Amino acid sequence: MELRQLEYFVAVAEECHFTRAAKRVHVAQSGLSASIRSLEAELGAPLFVRSTRQVELTEAGRALLVEARRALGSVDAARDAVAAVQGLLRGSLSVGSLQCLHVVHLPAVLAAFHDAHPGVEIRLRQGGTADLVDEVRAGRVDVAFVTRSPDRDVRMSTLATEPLVLACAPEHPLAGRPSVALPELAGESFVDFNEGWGTRDVVDRTLAAAGVDRRVGVEVNDVHSLLDFVGFGLGVALVPRSFSLKTDLVRFVDLDGGPVAETVVVTGTTVSAAARALLDLVRAG
């Protein structure tokens, strides 16, 4: 089994098309197809279900894809490590981040990284915690800044913790209170992020532990929309305290019991030299 074969295999798996995959890796389609057939013969299993319209992974192909990405990532990390010893960083760095990341001022950090390592191509993707952790696990994202989740097969390091607070409209009955107990929120309609977003998962677990069976009436995928809906009285929300810096149209009330949200940095089992350099910048700041 050769690295070139794994590269071709991953390209076909991601493109779901032999012609597009061949263009992506700059090889003739006949050569790519022959390489895939050779790989299948060596493994003793078909990796793709081929049809005139599309290409799909078999069960064996799905199993190989995880390990192929990991192997190619390890090779890239080895090359980067040698370059780092020589005082150079090259290649690419893929970063994932929540939309509202108050712990790290990512634009400033990435700008400083680019100035120090201009030979590294930076790619940034924003999304929810579950999707970004999956991207790290698959090797498509090198570093992700997310809310802590229960995943056990990626590395998570704590960057910061902050309390959750109740966000409500100024005219809400709880708006003038110094603090609120979680059971008092039973029966409230909530505004929250979509399922799979880190803060949503934290709030779900927090309220479930307090015995609160809640109803989410409005689901959004960005902070500003969430606060707008809360401000107009369409529901309450539990959010990290740092959200209070983004608006003066919403009231924020402390919660009894001190539930917290934890921001973490997630990496795969292999950490590239570029990713390590970025994390050094984050921790130095």
User: Taking residues 25-47, what's their average pLDDT?
Assistant: 93
Name which of 169, 194, 166, 191 is nearest 180 in CA terms: 166
Taking only the tens place, the pLDDT of each residue in 161-184 is 989 999 999 999 999 999 999 999
- Range with the poorest average pLDDT among 22-26, 118-122, 146-150: 146-150
Taking only the tens place, the pLDDT of each residue in 191-231 is 999 887 878 888 998 999 999 999 999 999 888 899 999 99
Angle, alpha carbons 94-220-127 (nearest 5°): 5
**Under 8 Å CB-to-CB from 182, ≥6 apart: which residues?**
206, 207, 210, 212, 255, 256, 257, 259
- Range with the poorest average pLDDT among 50-54, 80-84, 140-144, 177-181: 80-84
How high is the pLDDT of residue 172? 96
How high is the pLDDT of residue 88? 59
pTM comes to: 0.66
How high is the pLDDT of residue 112? 94
Taking only the tens place, the pLDDT of each residue in 72-89 is 878 877 777 676 665 557
Q: Is the dihedral of CA 180, 182, 186, 191 positive or negative?
A: positive
The amino acid at residue 23 is K
Taking only the tens place, the pLDDT of each residue in 248-266 is 889 999 999 878 888 899 9
Mean pLDDT of the chain: 88
How high is the pLDDT of residue 76? 74
Cα–Cα distance list, 51 to 16, 36, 62, 124 (Å): 11, 15, 17, 34
How high is the pLDDT of residue 17? 86
How high is the pLDDT of residue 86? 57
Cα–Cα distance list, 167 to 128, 224, 233, 234, 260 (Å): 21, 13, 10, 11, 15
Name which of 242, 261, 256, 230 is nearest 160 in CA terms: 261
Alpha-carbon distance of 199 to 195, in angstroms, equals 9
CB 128 within 8 A of CB 198: yes
